[in-house]
Amino acid sequence: MNRNESRTEKVSMPEISTGHRFRMTTGGIMKKTITAFAIVTATAIAGCSDDARIASRNLSKAADNFEIERRVVFYNGITNQYILEVTGRCSITDEGNQLELTCKTGPSSYKKHFLGLSDNVTYFAEQLDAADVSVYHYRVTFKPEAIIPAIDLRTSLDDQG
Sorted by sequence, the CB contacts under 8 Å of residue 50 that are 6+ apart come out as none
In angstroms, the CA 129 to CA 127 distance is 6
| Full DSSP string of 72-103 | EEEEETTTTEEEEEEEEEEEEEE-SSEEEEEE
pLDDT in tens, 38-48: 676 655 555 55
pLDDT in tens, 71-93: 999 989 899 899 889 999 999 99
**In which element (H, E) is residue 29 found?**
helix 26-47
In angstroms, the CA 64 to CA 89 distance is 9
Q: Does pLDDT of 36 surpass 80?
A: no
pTM score: 0.54
CA 161 to chain centre: 50
